[in-house]
Structure 1
Amino acid sequence: MILGIDVGGTHTDSVLMQDRKIIRKSKVLTDKNDILGCVMRATQAVVTPDDIRKLKRIVLSTTISTNAVAQNQLEPVGLIVMNGPGVSPRDLPLFDQAHFIAGYMNHRGIEAEAIDEEELAALKQQFGNDKIDNLAIIGKFSTRNPVHEQEVSAFFADQATHVSLGHHQSGVLNFPRRIATTYLNSAIWRLHSRMIAQLESYLHELGADVPLFILKADGGTIGVKQSRLFPVQTILSGPAATIMGVLPFVSKNGDSVSIDIGGTTTDIALFADGAPLLEPKGVEIEGHKTLIRGLLTHSMALGGDSHVQVVDGKLQVGPERKGAAMAFDGPVPTPTDALIVLGRASIGDKAKALRAMEGLAAELKQTPQQVAQAVIDTMCASIAAKVQQMIAEVNSKPVYTIHELLEGKTLNPQQLIAVGGPAPYVADQIGELLVMPAVVPENSDVINATGAATARTTVELNILADTESQELTFAEDGKKVRISSRTTVDDVVDIGRERLIEIARAAGAQDEDVEVEVADCQSFNVIHGYSTTGKNIRVRLQIKPGLIKHEPSNTAQV
């Protein structure tokens, strides 16, 4: 059995699954001030004491990290940056919060400027005075040689409670994005760690001694021990859960679009020949451009509980959510009330929903039914327009899926998959506006929880090999191995594949779900004088994202 839990902005959904089928499901209201309580209630709603002994896997998709960034509830971070020459500090992200220090590696990982320990000592005293014990340390070319980051970290070891190092976050070269990613990793570290500790304590009390995973932005899972080191990877896991949930229903022989209509927002995703699209450089959240590998989604502030009001004589739907629909004793009219008045949804108190529309009708001098229809028409038109806008934006640049770059691809979706509470009542209308058939999968109201429950564990590994120096470096942890001057690209891929499989197993992946892909591969000649003296080989490998093939058969700790 597998337990999947998705903590959404409005509801926390849970599913108990066996053999990829839902045994029980539940929805409880999300209390943003008590995420642990939401998880506890969602678990108790679907799991019996007897089920606990049969559990093989628990996966959680949570908004806690995303909300912390969106609401700027971030912990103070001692941000230390070694930028070297060639870029002005003012052109780098978080310039006003960063401490720029000496120390520089060149593009080949050779030290060009040493660290100044007197400078570090002064900074250490400043952090002590300011009671800052959470650090982020980033060097420009640390993915080529992390020694400076490691030396600075060691200098603060007796004072810092936590340190995030830039080269650990991603092996991809992009200094500004690495700064933002490392900063966010530290800024949410304590919040994330506290949540994980509470969850582990709760599961221990339940007697559920099984692996606990967190969903990442790329639609894969990460074991809780690893997530404590890389909490930033769990940002935007909610939209990723939707994509993994709808994946079994996506046509493999064409392009598709999915919409997840929640109470607060609607999330849109695109699929090319059955594969979800990927943010090629990394996701962006609240202006922070990161190196976090993530699925491409667009979110709009429009959902079933959006506030409907008359503004300057015109109907306005959203963007705020004031609470539940008036049919469920909420404070203001919503699209859910409109659906009830139109007879599309047989839920809630119809008399209260009617009163919600009557208030708007009086202002617009229309009947409640006319206003209700206008509310739904506005909602559906807004969602359809956003979908069309997203398709146009994607087609204006190269198309990347979670598997590959599709050269010359023009996305032309022919299928709409709609999920979320309001989906069954508006899917056909949105499909008509987009001129494509709409599909509402079974159990679409808890699709995020099923997506989380069945997602694979995914990891990435970046490798740099220099045959002149006969050295190979694993960018994410800085580990080095000796290689031959005759090492080829294929040799590097083979070395990386073996290492990636080890990392994936440590992260909780089952062997049958470990499918290694070469995501990127480049080879450059190293020229000294007028002759080639070696090769610079760069390889990026990943575990192919997707859904688990079978339920786990063991309870290894992750």
Structure 2
Amino acid sequence: MSYILGIDTGGTYTDGVLLNFEDKAVVAKAKAFTTPQDLTLGIEECLNNLGKIAPEKVGMVALSTTLATNAIVEGRGGKVGLILIGKRKPAGVLPAQKCSLVPGGHDLYGIPFADLDTQELRKVIAQMRGEVDTLAISGNLSNRNPDHENQAREIVQKEWDVPVVCAHELSSKLGYYERTVTACLNARLLPIIRELLLAVKAVLKKHCLEAPVMVVKGDGSLISEEKAFARPVETILSGPAASVVGATFLTGLETVMTLDMGGTTTDIGIVQNKRWRMNEKGAVVAGWRTHVNTAEITTFGIGGDSYIRVEGESYIRGSQKEKLHIGPLRVRPLSVVSMRYPNLVEELKAIQGKHAVYQGQDVDCWLMLKHPQNPESLRPEEQAIVRALEDGAHNVLALERRIKDYLSPLALRSLEQAQIIGRAAFTPTDVLHCLGLLQTWNRAASLEGARILAQHYGCGSESFAARCLEQITRSLGLTVLQSIALKQGYSLTAAADPNFNFLMGPVLKPKQADHDFSVRVGLNYPIAAIGAPVAAYLPDVGGLLHSEIIIPEHSEVANAVGAAVGKVSERVTAIIKPGFKVHAPWGYETYMELEDARNSILTKGRERVLENARQAGVFNPEVVVNHDVFSCETDFGTVFVSEALEIVASGYILSGDH
């Protein structure tokens, strides 16, 4: 019998499952709070919570992580030096600290514009040495002919011991800018993903687990830790992809909408006939458009830890401007934090009346996440906040009294961004505690938070909590409809069309008396809801949208299940252009006949994907060839335009009798 250990590090929780590979059954499951300041702490606690694991029975460890995505969003990572090869730089800002252009490059047919200027290249290398941590090399149309990129890498590696990334190895698509961005982001992530994987391996070693480690890619498939070391950019959107895989596996449905509600976001995917849509244009992360293949998943900033705030003094029913806002900022629930810091309940009780707080609310509380490594480098106002929080968490008004001076919102923000301190406030998790729908944490803190915000909103505490629950339900219903609209190429947002509420109002507020007509909608397939809070919210969403809601067993750890049941997938894409010119990852080739060009791609591509699959440890890989021919009709007959071949080898790294 062999087990797979699946681990998912989300924004709020780190989940773990032990899966019996033979019958695909969950043997054990556990959760622990994610520790963003050091993800390995949450992973180690999660493994401890799983109970005793027999190391010899674990054949694989699969990890899905938000680290790559978060690092790009937060601008973290290594300093990148970019060497461009060609006549020009791609238009647009590039995520690199140093950038130089070296003459060379190719045209659309793979023919060199000019020889690679090796003398200029060596000057650029000398200028960048010691200034950057990693190098990205991107040549004009290197996807048509990678020769100059490969030459440049050889020269760099002879003169400088530095990690090097070539753009053609990450993308075979046209798009000089996007291909370059992908290479730069990959170079930036190299030291971050290396640090994570080495730390994870150290945690596993403590538990005597020496099984191979695989990482979930943005398309839901797995890559080896060695590939993740080299191509970390492919792990962006790893967590949302794992949620789609996990939801479809747990439900067994062939056509379904998957809805994963976590602490920070709600991620929605649509699966049809066991296949989910891929983002053909490439993932966009923090405004950077890449050529990374990911599942087409829409993400909305509402989750169990979303920040609930009240704007203004009161809400007048029927007003065009809502005063209650939920998300997208993530904070820590009052009910959770007050379990460790019970003094917060008394500090919240002391708040009577309304108090103005600049860039926040009087319900907000702050806590220390980690002590700064160099306290002397902090500004005086930041040092004062750190000292005031050394003995525990405090409400913002209590914190102001402890400092005995002006409480700088800029200092709070900079310390929060550095993950030195964190904010606790009223969240959907607290709403559930107020209404008695959840009893896991400290309800007293949630009730005090509701009381304080209700004063600003202009109603009683219970009515305020009920109003929050109603708005959360409607927001989730709207996210479902927006996902379907986006799938079909439409934008369904109030910002895009102010008249949007004319139709959406009767859908999302069917009981409101002043509607002149009613609208009934229903999905043609069920919604598979996963994530810790979905049992409290999704049944009402199903009623609102007249749609079937399925919450499968183990839904609260579905992402970890998705990591565990994923397949390794190795692929190669090559293109044949007129003149039977082959543009492939292994180089540029020409043939006399179309059939010879096609056979060469099939032979070399199959050898490459099978070898890559073998190195990843895949047992008995399945090879699939996807073949597209593009032609046009003219007065002189059919004219060949191009032919694209994709060879994919996929499978599990365990066998049934492993």
Task: Report the TM-score when normalising by structure 2.
Answer: 0.74
Residue 21 of structure 1 is matched in structure 2 by 25
Q: Does 1:370 align with 2:373?
A: no
Q: Which runs of 5+ in 1 are unaligned?
A: 398-410
In the other structure, the counterpart of 1:538 is 644
Could you say what secondary structure the match of 1:347 adopts?
coil
TM superposition shift of 1:20 = 1.4
Counterpart residue number, 2:447 = 354
Counterpart residue identity of residue 288, structure 2: H
The answer to whether the 8 Å contact 1:485/1:534 transfers is no
How far, CA to CA, are the matches of 1:102 and 1:439 in structure 2? 58
Say whether the 8 Å CA contact 1:465–1:538 is kept in structure 2: yes
Question: Which whole-Å CA distance do the structure 2 matches of 1:338 and 1:205 have between them?
Answer: 39
Inter-partner Cα distance in structure 2 for 1:271 and 1:219: 13
Query: Cα 1:34–1:45, aligned 2, differ >3 Å: closer, same or farther?
Result: same
Which residue is 2:629 aligned to?
A: 522
- The structural deviation recorded for 1:284 is 0.8
Q: Is 1:474 aligned to residue 474 of structure 2?
A: no
Q: For structure 2, which runs of at least 5 residues remain unmatched after alignment?
A: 315-322, 340-423, 491-521
Q: Tell me if 1:323 matches 2:324.
A: no
1:259 Cα offset (Å): 1.6
Tell me by how many angstroms 1:245 deviates: 0.5
Cα deviations across residues 136-195 of structure 1 (Å, max 9, x unaligned)? Answer: 001122122211001111222121410000110022222221111101110111111122
TM-score normalized with structure 1 length: 0.86
Q: CA deviation at 1:543?
A: 4.2
Give the deviation of 1:533 after TM superposition. 13
Taking the aligned partners of 1:75 and 1:192, their CA distance within structure 2 comes to 11
1:326–1:334 Cα contact (<8 Å) kept: no
Q: Is 1:287 the equivalent of 2:287?
A: yes
Question: 2:69 aligns to what?
Answer: 66
Count residues with an aligned counterpart. 525
Please state how far the C-alpha of 1:507 moved relative to its aligned partner. Answer: 2.6
Aligned to 2:82: 79
CA pair 95-216 structure 1, distance change in 2 beyond 3 A: closer
Task: Indicate the residue corresponding to 2:547 in structure 1.
Answer: 436
CA 418–325 in structure 1, closer or farther in 2 if over 3 Å, else same? farther
Q: Please say if 1:172 is aligned against 2:173.
A: yes
Contact 2:523 2:545 in 1 (8 A): no
Contact 2:32–2:42 (Cα < 8 Å) also in 1:
yes
Matched, 1:34 2:143: no
SS of match in other structure, 1:374: helix
| Cα displacement (A) at 1:275 | 2.2
- Does 2:552 correspond to 1:425? no
- Give the deviation of 1:318 after TM superposition: 2.0
Q: Does 1:8 align with 2:10?
A: yes
Q: Equivalent residue for 2:160?
A: 159
Within 1, Cα distance between the matches of 2:456 and 2:46? 41
Contact 1:56 1:553 in 2 (8 A): no
Q: Give the residue type in structure 2 aligned to 1:31.
A: T
Q: Does 1:504 align with 2:613?
A: yes
On the 8 A contact 1:264/1:304 being kept in 2, the answer is yes
The CA deviation at 1:327 is: 5.5
Q: Distance in 1 between matches of 2:218 and 2:452?
A: 41
Higher mean C-alpha displacement, 171-180 vs 493-502 = 493-502
- Going from structure 1 to structure 2, the CA distance change for 1:538 and 1:257 (only over 3 Å counts) comes to closer
- Give the letter aligned to residue 362 of structure 1: Q
Distance in 2 separating the partners of 1:260 and 1:201: 30
Deviation string, structure 1 residues 416-459 (Cα, Å, up to 9, x no partner): 11111110011111122222111111111111000001100112
Indicate how the Cα distance of structure 1 residues 99 and 348 shifts in structure 2: closer, same or farther if over 3 A, else same.
same
Amino acid at match of 1:67: N
1:324-353, Cα deviation, whole Å (9 max, x unpaired): 342652732221121122232232233333
Given that residues 344 and 425 in structure 1 are in contact (C-alpha distance below 8 angstroms), is that contact kept between their aligned partners in structure 2? yes
CA deviation vs aligned residue, 1:247-297 (integer Å, no higher than 9, x gap): 12557564x322211112211222223422210121110111111110111
Q: Distance in 2 between matches of 1:253 and 1:443?
A: 19
- Corresponding residue number in structure 2 for 1:236: 237
For the structure 1 residues 175 and 47, does the alpha-carbon distance in structure 2 shift closer, same or farther, using more than 3 Å as the test? farther
**Structure 2 CA distance for partners of 1:333 and 1:205, relative to 1, 3 Å:** closer
- Give the RMSD, CA atoms, in angstroms: 3.0
Which residue is equivalent to 1:102?
Answer: 103
Question: Given that residues 213 and 221 in structure 1 are in contact (C-alpha distance below 8 angstroms), is that contact kept between their aligned partners in structure 2?
Answer: yes
Aligned to 2:560: 449
Contact 1:133 1:159 in 2 (8 A): no
What secondary structure does 2:547 align onto?
A: coil
Question: Partner of 2:148 in structure 1?
Answer: 148
* Equivalent AA in structure 1 for residue 13 of structure 2: H
For residues 31-90 of structure 1, give each alpha carbon's deviation from its aligned partner in whole angstroms, at most 9, with x where no partner exists.
1111122222222322525x11110110011111111101011321111112436xx643
Q: Alignment identity in percent?
A: 26
Q: How far apart are 1:523 and its partner, in Å?
A: 5.7
Q: Distance in 2 between matches of 1:531 and 1:394?
A: 36
Deviation digits for residues 502-524 of structure 1 (CA, Å, limit 9, x no counterpart): 22222333325x34241x52367
Tell me how far apart the structure 2 counterparts of residues 277 and 295 of structure 1 sit (CA, whole Å).
Answer: 6
Rate the CA distance shift 1:92–1:322 in 2: closer, same or farther, 3 A: closer
- Equivalents in 2 of 1:73, 1:413: separation in Å? 42
1:303 deviates by 1.1
Relative distance call for 1:245 and 1:341 in structure 2 (3 A) is same
